[in-house]
Structure 1
Amino acid sequence: MKNIKVPFSSNLTSTLKKTFLISKGCLLLSFMLVQNASAQQNKRLFQGDYDAKTVKFGYFLGLPYTHFNIKFNNYFINKDEVYAITSPGTIGLKMGGLANIRLNDYFDFRVLPTVAIYGRKLEYRYVDTDATTPETMLGEKKELRETAWFELPVMLKYKSERRGNVRMYIFGGLRYAVETNAVNRRNRQQFTTKNNDFSVEYGTGIEFFREYFKFSPELHFSHGIVNLINPSTASGTAIAGIDRLTTHTVTLYISFE
């Protein structure tokens, strides 16, 4: 009589092995966290009087990933030549200083004057009505909009209780921005956008206290609420079919105080 293999048994054995490995990994991770927490209790406490200072200053570097959010109007829907406009994400650079004002044990007020460099893109896909062959009928155009901005975010920060030399926090607020190279850009490009922006911003971070300084990695999410389309310059251009153009940026910060 031939042996009959039962797939269910094999699958069950494989599942049990995976479950065992996952459980083993979780137990190992839990053990490491307990050990780390125990070690944290015995570790030297850096800057124990840090929260006694009312005002603190520092600086930061940021790596933003940004793009435009696009909302089309009826003109774009009825337009035959341009059939798609997109804004792929690009990476920029931010740097600046910060002032942190302690309000109480859990809340701080923060101001972060910032110089930011962005290279936001617009990509157009269009039908070339002058093309002689089907292969050349569909065209594509890319426009890199390199801009420099001065930004002034104001934030309310909520921080947890300090655990040894580590503390987590969240924050939220508003960011005002003004473009500093608007005149030069108008001379170079076919159309322009508004040179003022206003954003809602929020995020989270972790503070690591060291002997002589504190550094904090932060993740910021910024949503522009100002429509950057300028009707006087958009008319007759490829962006005439855009009803609303706003910014969206995710930024990784490293700050030092």
Structure 2
Amino acid sequence: MTSRYTSRFPKRISLLLMCLLGLLFTQALQAQTEKVQNRPYADFKRYHLGFHVGMHVQDLAINNNGFVPEGSTAGPIYAQISNYSPGFSVGVIGDMFLMSNLNLRVLPTLHFGDKQFVYSDGEKAVASFSVRSNYLEFPLLLKYSSRRLNNFRPYLIGGPYWTMELGRKKGLEIYTKSNDYGVQIGIGCDFYLRYFKFCPELRFSFGFPDVITHDRPDLVDDPKIIYTQSIDRAQTRMIMLTFNFE
């Protein structure tokens, strides 16, 4: 019988960040009185560039298969992502104006972070380790903006992405595949300052394929092979809080 354990997506973190952005939007709307607009034609440029920095947390939605290690008397072992440590993100922004409320954006981004694995037998932890994961990500996103309110403009953003993992150590307990793809959705707000736009943005990534490398000839005679054997499939999840400068 197959057991399914899915790691806890950091709901408290995402809820807190969404509440903060919601509060930000509410204050922006409530404070609106007619005033001079900064950079009134910034949104009508056919193309413009920018950069972004921020932080993220990496997660995996894990399906366990009920694997019982040879010689074990405790039963199956189950994997999950136990803790979330913030990683660092940095990238560039390429934006193309499509129409008054719609832009097409490409955001090549470097993510530096890790995943904290914990294996348990259903009662107690039997192993824990960290796997470093550095990604080069290429999202292609549509940005749908509301009407500009003086120097504020909330927006929604979403679209597909593709990632490539950048290097890894040999002999790790878990290998993830070099390539991944999925969709991203998010919210943000443009703040029009005197010389540039400042845009806090919250995005969520949902990977589609199984990213676990199940074929591990390097661990054939290594006891660490059980950590790969116990996972049926795993899909990536990520929360990103970025600050765009355009």
Whether the 8 Å contact between 1:191 and 1:237 is mirrored in structure 2 is no
- Within 2, Cα distance between the matches of 1:74 and 1:35? 54
**Secondary structure, in 3 states, of the residue corresponding to 1:239?**
helix
Report the identity percentage. Answer: 27
RMSD of Structure 2 on Structure 1 (CA): 2.6
**Bigger helix fraction:** 1
Query: What runs of 5+ residues in structure 2 fail to find an aligned partner?
Result: 1-26
Query: What runs of 5+ residues in structure 1 fail to find an aligned partner?
Result: 1-31, 128-136
Q: Cα–Cα, structure 1 residues 164 and 151, in superposed 2: closer, same or farther, change >3 Å?
A: same
AA in 2 matched with 1:145: V
1:115 aligned residue? 110
Q: Cα–Cα, structure 1 residues 159 and 191, in superposed 2: closer, same or farther, change >3 Å?
A: closer
2:100 aligned residue? 105
1:166 aligned residue? 152
Whether the 8 Å contact between 1:71 and 1:243 is mirrored in structure 2 is yes
Q: How does 1:75-224 map to 2 (within 5 A)?
A: 75=67, 80-88=74-82, 89-126=84-121, 140-182=126-168, 185=169, 187-224=170-207
**Secondary structure, in 3 states, of the residue corresponding to 1:238?**
helix
**Secondary structure, in 3 states, of the residue corresponding to 2:229?**
helix
Per-residue CA deviation, residues 123-142 of structure 1 (Å, 9 max, x unaligned), is: 11249xxxxxxxxx955321
Further displaced range: 234-243 or 149-158: 234-243
AA in 2 matched with 1:73: N
Q: How does 1:10-25 map to 2 (within 5 A)?
A: none
Superposition TM-score, scaled by structure 2 size: 0.78
Shift of 1:90: 2.5
**Which of 60, 63, 66 matches 2:52?**
60
Q: Cα–Cα, structure 1 residues 35 and 200, in superposed 2: closer, same or farther, change >3 Å?
A: closer
**Secondary structure, in 3 states, of the residue corresponding to 1:51?**
helix
Whether 1:71 aligns to 2:71 is: no
Structure having the higher Rg: 1
Count of aligned residue pairs for this structure pair: 211
Q: Cα–Cα, structure 1 residues 34 and 55, in superposed 2: closer, same or farther, change >3 Å?
A: closer
- Within 2, Cα distance between the matches of 1:60 and 1:213? 13
Per-residue CA deviation, residues 41-60 of structure 1 (Å, 9 max, x unaligned), is: 1x221011112211010000
